[in-house]
Amino acid sequence: MKFKLGISGDLINSEGIPCFGEKPLEKIYNRGDIDLEWMNPNIREISQDMAAKFDAILLNLPKATKESVNRVDCRLKIISRFGVGFDTVDIVAMKNKNIIVTNTPNAVRRPVAVAALTMIFSLSGKLLLKDELVRSGSWNERTNHMGVGLTEKTLGVIGAGNIGSELIQLAKPFFGKIISHDPFLSLEEFIKKGIEKVDLLELANKSDFVVILCNLNENTKNLIDRKFFEEMKDSSFIINMSRGPVINEQELVFALKNKLINGAGLDVMTIEPIENDNPLLEMKNTILTPHALCWTDECFEAIANEAIQSILDYKDNKKIKNRVN
């Protein structure tokens, strides 16, 4: 029986081709022992039929739950997540069924860090507002909209792991000081990175720009709440590049409306796609992007290569580098 690989159909673009290009798939096309099949692009969750059909799934948006793999004829052996996050996969359930889960931390390290910098520069320079000045014929109002310089400002990074470390290195030439909160890193590791270790509320109080880069789990859901916002400076900005539920969205709206903070840059929301009546859509002091700010041709090709390599390593009985369970 041939090894069967299913790939998330939501990775096909409107032109009917893989959004990451064809080149990463050549590793599979050149083999005669793997059958590749594109899955339905509209599925929200891996079904038991799919788990019984495929040996491996390259998974993008659909969820993989305990129910997905609960049938006795489950054939699935590895799920390779297209991206770094794996909160849509029931890791415990997969481990209990001896199903390997992998992600692509190396491919997204630089792109997400650059995306965070893009948010910082856009907010500090009032990019969208100044674009609107030109388009609305309000050129001469530019003196009323000074941006914020960074050389004497403090950047606070929540999560100094893979992507956080990359952002810290990229941001050092721009900021006067960088501080971070990460309960999983030792003081020695912070010293190596050349940054100050602080607790969460101290980071809120001292930072001019806060960037969230931690994983979403039971401990980080609603981590950023009203208490955090009340500690922030009214001139400060918050940027979320991790997962929407890390921020209590209702309390973020309150903070923005009541000017507890200056603005926000969100690449992720609590509900995605964002609801049509979400008050964030009406706020001029926000930049909202569709969980895609880091998406570039280079980024997606690298993610696809890393995700596919994990599947091939499993098939060839080689060491799998990016296991998360």
Pairing of β 3-7 and β 34-38: parallel
3-state DSSP assignment of residue 149: coil
Cβ neighbours around 72 below 10 Å, total: 6
User: Which tokens in the block code for residue 55?
Assistant: 């040996």
Of 85, 90, 44, 84, give the one whose Cα is nearest residue 67: 90
How much is the pLDDT for 79? Answer: 98
Q: What is the mean pLDDT of each run of 10 residues along the chain (325 residues)?
A: 96 96 95 96 97 98 97 98 93 97 97 98 98 98 97 98 97 98 96 96 98 95 98 98 98 98 98 97 97 96 98 97 94
Task: List, in sequence order, the alpha helices (H) in the chain.
Answer: 26-29, 48-53, 91-96, 105-124, 127-135, 162-171, 187-193, 200-206, 226-231, 249-257, 297-315
Is 145 catalytic? The answer is no
Distance of CA 5 to the CA centre of its chain: 25
User: In which residue are the tokens 């009406």 written?
Assistant: 282
pTM (whole model) above 0.85 = yes
In this prediction, residue 291 carries a pLDDT of 96
176-215 burial, b if ≥16 CB within 10 A, otherwise e? eebbbbbeebeeeebeebebbbbebeebbbbbbbbbbbbb
One of 81, 109, 181, 243 is an active-site residue; which one? 243
- What's the pLDDT at 68? 98
Taking the CA atoms of residue 181, residue 187, residue 193 and residue 198 in that order, the dihedral angle to the nearest 10 degrees is 30
Judge if the upstream peptide bond of residue 273 is cis by omega within 30 degrees of 0: yes
Q: How many CA atoms lie within 13 A of 146 on its CB side?
A: 4
Q: Which residue has the tokens 């929540």?
A: 158
pLDDT at res. 1: 84
Helix, strand and coil content of the chain, in percent to the nearest 5, comes to: 40, 20, 45
Which of 26, 37, 45, 272 does the annotation list as catalytic? 272
Go through the domains of the chain in sequence order and give each one's CATH number: 3-106+296-315 (3.40.50.720), 148-288 (3.40.50.720)
Asked about 243 being catalytic, the answer comes back as yes
C-alpha separations of 200 from 11, 154, 156, 207 in Å: 37, 14, 10, 11
Among 81, 109, 181, 291, the one annotated catalytic: 291
